[in-house]
Structure formats: structure tokens, C-alpha cells
A and B are shown apart, each in its own frame.
Chain A
């Protein structure tokens, strides 16, 4: 009934071609500038890629939200952790003097740090919020040394694109991109609210990534690996989260 005119057909054809080649080009540029997250495959890939790309363009360098001391939560909620294994109990009995943080991968000088080594580096503190993916949150003061300093100390190589970090808990590992890894608020945290970081909150060593949800702030960190190829780790999705169905990028 409504015959489509030839001109309309040609216009539609041109628009479709332009749209398709625009998408291909956008994809190429996004990959080149590191705007594609490791879990960009599959049905939810487009949404994740849009979120991550926008956040990288908008917030690569913005500071985390900070709060006045008066807003520190009186009763922070530690959330559940798995019961500690033998190895952890042994280290805890020794006052964590033998806790080691191994830094390796694409760094010039792979190094193993004790907590005392880390405490001799510049110490920063921040009053930031932990927001859990479930919806709850609390504010605390976090004290430690920026991850960026440790990476510079070990001579992180320019080809590094992600920093992978592991918990003493087997099977728990995360990664962040270099924008977050070198961000001044990304903190190897050893203290909380003027005391040592309590074990339920990730003590003796937790990597705080305050511009992402709580699950990126991994507890009990023992190893950090810089890499230029995130596909080599686990199932190649960037962290253990996508293997459980959760997004790799948790800045939302």
C-alpha cells in the first residue's frame, strides 16, 4: 500500500552502510584507546562497553568522593569472609610479620615486600565510602601506601595494561586498568580509623579501589601481577567476577 520510493530505498541503504561502518570504526578506536573492558563479549557486552568507555572518558582522573571525619561510620559492616585457612592462621599468629606482597609480571624489578617495607613507603590516608553491590555502604578512614608508588618502585613497564591482584584465599583475584592502578586514591591499605586494618575488613593488607564497588577492594592481598595481556588470566574475562556473572568494571 505504501510503496517505498527508490529515493527512500537509496537513502536507507546509505544510512545503513554509514551506520555499520561507523560502528566498526568506533569499535576500532575504542580498542585502540583502551575503552573496551575484558568482559565485552556476549549479550551484555554492548552495555558494559558503553559504561566502561564513558567512565574512562569522563572519570579517568577524577578524585574519589571524600567525607569529613564526622561522617566516619560508628559501626561499619565488615561483610562475611570465608573462615581463615591454616596458612592465614599461621601468619596471624606471627603478627603478620611474615606476610609478603609479591609484585611481578611486566615490571623491571620483581620484588617481595613485607608489611614493614610497605609502611616505609609514603603513607596516605583517605576518608572514603565502601559501597557494596548489594546496596549497603559505610565510610571509614583508610591508611596505607598508594599502589602507584609500589608499581613505580618495581619499575612497571610501559606495555603494562592491567594490574592483576590475588587474595590469599585461593581462587579470589581481581584486576584493574592502569587508570585505576595509577590513581592516587588506589591504596594498599594497612590501617583503618587510626588502628591496624582489622582482619574482618581485609587486614593485614587490602587494596582499596574507592571509585568502584566494594568487591574490587580485595581483602588479604598477597600478590600483584602487572600484565599487557589480561586474556592470559583465568577465563580471560579480567577477574573472577564475570566467571560468577558479575561485571569486571564495578564503577558502574
Chain B
């Protein structure tokens, strides 16, 4: 079940040892060895970057919501303000009395610290993503664990896996080692599509960044389009988060969390030797 190649190498060595010496007593495996054999589901890097992502993502979500309250109207194109037609309006009170919301009261203004924290968390997320991204390519983690296996590149494979979810079948052996097809697809979408788009639409709202790269805003249809897309993307990420945590709860919150915290699979196979054969 090892995710990291180091572990599989060690494992092969052990196997060879067992084979070349038939008298090697299998039961003499020490505690440390057992824990190494049932070994790593998530590498240390994935675990650390995952939890850093969670912290910064939650901070971004909360402060993002806080910032939206100051102007809960959305537009398409380059410009938009209370004198222009909105694309849509959120049915919530605003933290500015200049925005017509239909509510007789104004929420407290929390934009100052929200903006400071939003950008600081964005930095944490970007650095985390850089480390995760570079390590994922170099170590082969993306290739091995996130890109679906070649034979799974069919709709059929998706239907098969969805059907198994619907029948509430337990994960099969291969899923002890790595993610299943649907997990891979969800993670790839989040890591390589949603987060990059989130960063792009965010930067497209920076008046200084767009002075250097005007296309960042222009390609999206303008500053207000970027803001609207940024808003929708945060909903998609929130949707992912809800499904993600639900699936983890359904598949055994304790063992999945233990694996994502300690790295080791919660439930070791009865006989580690057999598992590999």
C-alpha cells in the first residue's frame, strides 16, 4: 500500500530476503517493520500541505464572504456600481449604506482586517501550492495517484465506480493503495483547474497587477466579470469541500483522518505479506 517509492523498494528487498531464505521466520517481523509495511498512504508533504490548504482556504472563505457583504451586487464586463444594472444581487443586507438592499439596516464594516487576512491567506495558499505542485511533479505523486490510470479513461469506468458508490460497496484492494477514479478526478479538478482559476480571477481584480498584465482582466471580459467568476469559483470550491468531507465521513472518518494526519492507513491488512501478492 505504500504511496512512496522508497517504501516499495524496501518492501521488495524484504520480499527478496524472505524468498532467498526459506527459513526466514515470517513471524519475527518487528513492530517497526510492520508499521513500515502497512506504511504510508499519504506522504508527509501531502499531509502538511493539505492541512495548510485547509487553514488558508477557510480563512479565505470567511474573509471573502465578509468582503462581499460590502457590495452584494454582481456585474458582467469591466465596470459596475449602484448606478448600473447588476447581473444579480444577493438577498442579504450590506455593510455600506450606499448599496440599496431593501433591508432597513447596515451591517458592521469588517473589510479592513478581512482584506488583510484574505491576501495573507492567499499568500500562504500560493506558497503551499508551489511546494505541493513542484513536489507532486518531481516525486511522481500526481502521475501515480492523481492522474487516472490509462485503462480508466472511459465513461464506463466512471459509471462502474459511481454504481459501486450507489450500491455502497466497500473500497476494493487497489483503493487501499491509492485514490479511486472519482477521487482522482475531483482532486485533479480542484488542484489544476479551480485553484488556478481562483488565483487568476483574484489577480485580475488587482489594479496594480493588471497594470503589468492587462490581459489578466481583459481575457475574462473585464474586472467585474473577474469578480463574478471569483465568486462562483468560491462556491464550486465550497461544494467540493462539502462533498469531500461527506465522502470522508461515509468512508470512515476516523481511519481516513488518521491516515491524513499520521500518514499511515488506519486499518492494516490482516497479513501484510499476502496483501502485496
Q: Taking beta carbons and an 8 Å cutoff, which residues of A are in contact with B?
A: 1-2, 44, 46-48, 50-51, 55, 58-59, 62-65, 67, 71, 73, 75-77, 79-80, 129, 131-139, 210-213, 241, 244-247, 250-252
> Which residue in B32, B71, B208 is a CB contact (below 8 Å) of A212?
B208
Asked whether A71 lies within 8 Å of B78 as measured between CB atoms, the reply is yes
On whether A247 and B115 interact (CB within 8 A), knowing A46-B120, A62-B212, the answer reads: yes
Q: How far is the CA of A51 from the CA of B98 in the complex (A)?
A: 29
List, in ascending order, chain B residues with CB within 8 A of A134's CB.
70-71, 96, 111
Q: How far is the CA of A51 from the CA of B73 in the complex (A)?
A: 27
Task: State whether the Cβ of B176 lies closer than 8 Å to any Cβ in chain A.
Answer: no
Asked whether A246 lies within 8 Å of B207 as measured between CB atoms, the reply is no
On whether A139 and B115 interact (CB within 8 A), knowing A1-B32, A212-B207, the answer reads: no
Asked whether A245 lies within 8 Å of B81 as measured between CB atoms, the reply is no
Number of A-B contacts (CB under 8 A): 127
Asked whether A133 lies within 8 Å of B212 as measured between CB atoms, the reply is no
Asked whether B207 lies within 8 Å of A135 as measured between CB atoms, the reply is no
Kindly list 20 other residue pairs between chains A and B, CB separation below 8 angstroms, not including A46-B120, A251-B207.
A1-B32, A48-B119, A51-B119, A77-B81, A77-B98, A79-B98, A80-B98, A134-B71, A134-B96, A135-B73, A137-B78, A137-B81, A211-B208, A212-B208, A244-B112, A245-B112, A251-B206, A251-B208, A251-B209, A252-B119
List, in ascending order, chain A residues with CB within 8 A of B113's CB.
44, 245
Number of interface residues of B (CB under 8 A): 42
Q: Residue of A at shortest CB range from B86? A: A136
On whether A129 and B211 interact (CB within 8 A), knowing A134-B70, A137-B78, A246-B111, the answer reads: no
List, in ascending order, chain B residues with CB within 8 A of A50's CB.
123
Asked whether B70 lies within 8 Å of A135 as measured between CB atoms, the reply is yes
B-side binding surface: helix, strand, loop or mixed? helix
List, in ascending order, chain A residues with CB within 8 A of B122's CB.
47
List, in ascending order, chain B residues with CB within 8 A of A80's CB.
97-98
Q: How far is the CA of A199 from the CA of B234 in the complex (A)?
A: 38
Q: How far is the CA of A80 from the CA of B97 in the complex (A)?
A: 9
Some 18 contacts from A to B, beta carbons below 8 A apart, are A1-B31, A44-B117, A47-B117, A47-B122, A48-B120, A55-B209, A58-B209, A63-B211, A64-B207, A65-B210, A71-B78, A77-B82, A137-B79, A137-B224, A213-B207, A247-B116, A251-B209, A252-B207
